[in-house]
Amino acid sequence: MTREALHQVVYDTLRVNKIDDGYVRLVVTRGAGTLGLDPNRTSDPQVIIIADRISLYPSELYEKGLEIVTVSVVRNHPASVSPRIKSLNYLNNILAKIEGLQAGCVEALMLNTQGEVAECTGDNVFLARDGVLFTPPAEAGILEGVTREAVIELAAAAGLKVRQSALTKHDVYIADEMFLTGTAAEVIPVVKVDGRVIGGGRPGPITRDLMERFHKLARS
């Protein structure tokens, strides 16, 4: 399927479902085949288009901010399954999500095998300290999300210094601000991690500015 043809069928799917502002997920499968792991024993690869209206978090959390917890489930080692691949292999994230929910949190922070901050179960992580924006690099074992990349560009355009560097839980605890990014979540503030208040305990100015900038970008 060409890029142009893919664009067209996505638009057709949105039109049929009468979705003007929603969520689109493309799933590429290897096709039908017999049981087993050999991809050569399959045929007729398929592209599945999922379109729906989705809101990951209640609107009040965008005003008040999230409370999250660090979980014991470690992000997949990047040498096993590359985290840069967007796949349906979500078992690791689901286990972390369950642990977070059991702690009373709708999102959870995952570390990598080095004990560094990686990402949350479905979102990328950003910290702000002394006017500088920090986010874990690809080497930390993160999925380089589309929203993450957009926010990095928006921050740079706003004159903010953005550093992609290894982060620890200590960096999280002493941050002035923290927020998460994701396709469904967009930009959402975090005000408490592991029972520790982040900054002033409410969404900070950098977070609010980037929330507004991304909202305009996504709907322009």
Catalytic residues: 86
Give DSSP secondary structure letters for the chain.
--HHHHHHHHHHHHHHTT-SS-EEEEEEE--EE-SSS-GGGEES-EEEEEEE---SS-HHHHHH-EEEEE-SPPPPPTTTS-TTS--S--HHHHHHHHHHHHTT-SSEEEE-TTS-EEEESSSEEEEEETTEEEE--GGGT----HHHHHHHHHHHHTT-EEEE----HHHHHT-SEEEEEETTTEEEEEEEETTEEPTTSS--HHHHHHHHHHHHHHT-
CA distances from 216 to 55, 148, 149, 213 (A): 17, 15, 16, 5
Q: Are 127 and 171 in contact (CB under 8 A)?
A: yes
